[in-house]
Amino acid sequence: MAKVTFLGHAGAAVDAGAFQLLVDPWFAPAGAFLGAWHQYPRNDHLDLAGLLDADWVAVSHEHLDHFDPWVLNQLSARTRILIPHYPGPAFRERMMAAAGGRNVIELTPWEKFPLDNRGSWITAIPELSPMCHDAAFLVFADGRGFLHANDARLTAAQARRAKHLVGGRLDLMAVQTSQASWHPICYHYGPDEMTKISMDKRVSKLRAVQRLVRQTAPELAAPYAGPPCFLDAEVDHHNRTLAQEDGAFCDPEAATAWLREHLPKQSWQSFKPGDSIDLDTGAVDRDPVSAEFSFTDRDEYLKRYAADRAAAIAEALTPYPEPDSGLFDRFAAHFAYLGGLSDYFLRQIAMVVRFDVTGPNGGVWDVDFSPDGLAVSEASPDVRPHYRITTAGRWVDGVIAGRIAWEDLLLSFRVSLSRDPDVYNDYLVGLLKHANAPALQAVEVYENERDESERITVACDGVSYDIQRYCPHAGEDLSVGAIVRDGRIQCLAHNFAFDLATGECVNARAANLDARRV
């Protein structure tokens, strides 16, 4: 018998005859990302003592709403930790530091790793592009198949391959539908534009899930993995994104309703913390505490929740004091190091980023990512930055000191940003996110050596175009994972859009699509 219990956010427990496996458990009372994100609905009523005596814990990637050092510190000493193998060392090193001497095992992508001596196994399925260090877990437990996609944006081909690996039947597929990112909510947009961009991203994400599940056809699909809520006063205004009808971040119930309408022949269910499903019978057991929670009645709930978590949030922020007068020098040295990691990334970024560092010993500083090298200087009124990032010096100093990663700071939403022109630069985020030479080198090799020989023909406005089959950004199969309209093809995996006449990416800094008019 195999049973899956949902632990809140992306967490799940798989109970089989011979083992218990936890996937991405997140329970930290301080939440994640500088105390900004919190489990929604809360999951602190679950029996942690029983859960944390697990045989295995699988952690998909280093985002702190999946990789929870607070949980890892309380695991049984016998618990073994499973992580995907990524090209760079950052996740492995962070996990080793947090594991407290517990056995950490890296999973080779697509290889079956045994969980017992009865034929059960797990494998990791990373996203195709090494720019994205996210992975799904495919679990085969007591003859039942469970694909937990976590935050990984799998291609349709990957999901179909996963289904084939478990014998052609996926009993359960959990898919992320919330897409909680710093764009657009941390950007300077007017109310109307913010609403439009938020809804466009929300619907695009749901369409991507619809397409993936339609191609995979699991026995049951479950929208899952977020969204978080925001309890600290600096960020609690972002709770407006949780609105069921038009919020940027889609909760599982709203996602389930939309997906049932748009893919009615597929079986869908939404789950809350403590809910479980028997994969043999399909029987669902609802958690009585979570059953009292409603996504539509959140104001008083969040007020009480914030009061309960106030002390834990304050404690989470204590390691970040105001910086001393040497902050600019440390900032310049930090970016000089980053600039030396990859000439390829400097050529792709090729712009000025202005950092408006607020608070004591801050300033306004320009980082010029030039193909000829990186330079840091005081901001000049004669320079027009392409990106502007505003945040407090205490957070910047924490990044420089290694207490938090750049991506963790961005995900904390304790920043504000603007772009001119309003075009996403994936390479800037990639450099800040990975910050190590092996990971950046893997991206360069992937982008320069991928096979673009497979072609498809698409038609738009009465014109046919011969294009490469796979998206130049992250390898999605455009024959099944894209929308063609208004002279463009939009990849649903990451929303990159390409002009069919020129091949140019129109909404991000990315390699061009090889497109030719027929």
Name which of 190, 104, 174, 171 is nearest 137 in CA terms. Answer: 174
- Coil vs helix vs strand at 99: coil
pLDDT at residue 451 tops 80: no
**pLDDT computed for residue 440 by the predictor:** 96
Reported as a single tens digit per residue, the pLDDT across 372-410 is 999 999 999 999 999 999 999 999 999 999 999 999 999
**pLDDT computed for residue 206 by the predictor:** 94
226, 175 contact by CB (below 8 A) = no
> Checking DSSP bridges between strand 497-499 and strand 488-491, what pairing results, if any?
antiparallel
Lowest mean pLDDT among 3-12, 72-81, 199-208: 199-208
- Coil vs helix vs strand at 176: strand
**pLDDT computed for residue 454 by the predictor:** 85
pTM score of the predicted model: 0.92
State the Cα–Cα distance between residues 84 and 419, nearest whole angstrom.
Answer: 34
Q: What is the enclosing helix (H) or strand (E) of 175?
A: strand 172-176
Helices (H), 179-276: 191-216, 252-262
**pLDDT computed for residue 32 by the predictor:** 98
Q: Residue 320: which residues within 8 A CB-CB, separation 6 or more?
A: 34, 394, 395, 397, 398, 403, 404
Name which of 229, 235, 225 is nearest 37 in CA terms. Answer: 229
pLDDT tier for residue 441 given thresholds of 50, 70 and 90: very high
Q: How would you classify residue 372: left for phi > 0, otherwise alpha for psi between -120 and 50, otherwise beta?
A: alpha
pLDDT tier for residue 246 given thresholds of 50, 70 and 90: confident
Percent of the chain residues topping a pLDDT of 90? 81
Overall average pLDDT of the 269-283 stretch: 97
Angle ∠(128,131,135) on CA atoms, nearest 5? 50
Q: Compute, in degrees rounded to 10, the torsion defined by CA atoms 186, 187, 193, 199.
A: -40
pLDDT tier for residue 115 given thresholds of 50, 70 and 90: very high
State the Cα–Cα distance between residues 225 and 24, nearest whole angstrom.
Answer: 10
**pLDDT computed for residue 511 by the predictor:** 80
pLDDT tier for residue 31 given thresholds of 50, 70 and 90: very high
Overall average pLDDT of the 31-53 stretch: 96
252 preceded by a cis bond (ω within 30 of 0): no
449, 503 contact by CB (below 8 A) = no
Overall average pLDDT of the 413-423 stretch: 95
**pLDDT computed for residue 351 by the predictor:** 96
pLDDT tier for residue 450 given thresholds of 50, 70 and 90: confident
Helices (H), 6-58: 48-51
Q: Residue 322: which residues within 8 A CB-CB, separation 6 or more?
A: 359, 360, 361, 393, 394
Reported as a single tens digit per residue, the pLDDT across 312-347 is 999 999 999 999 999 999 999 999 999 999 999 999
**pLDDT computed for residue 493 by the predictor:** 77
- Please count the other Cβ atoms lying within 10 Å of the Cβ belonging to residue 250: 30
**pLDDT computed for residue 352 by the predictor:** 97
**pLDDT computed for residue 286 by the predictor:** 98
Structure tokens at 334: 């930090």
pLDDT at residue 23 tops 80: yes
Cα torsion 210, 65, 247, 509: sign: negative
Burial tier of 363 (Cβ tally within 10 Å: 0-12, 13-18, 19+)? middle
pLDDT at residue 507 tops 80: yes
Overall average pLDDT of the 95-119 stretch: 97
**pLDDT computed for residue 417 by the predictor:** 97
Helices (H), 217-298: 252-262, 288-291
Overall average pLDDT of the 418-440 stretch: 94
State the Cα–Cα distance between residues 138 and 151, nearest whole angstrom.
Answer: 13
Strand order in the sheet with 135-141: 113-114, 121-126, 135-141, 144-148, 172-176, 221-224
State the Cα–Cα distance between residues 126 and 130, nearest whole angstrom.
Answer: 8
Name which of 455, 328, 426, 327 is nearest 379 in CA terms. Answer: 328
**pLDDT computed for residue 225 by the predictor:** 86
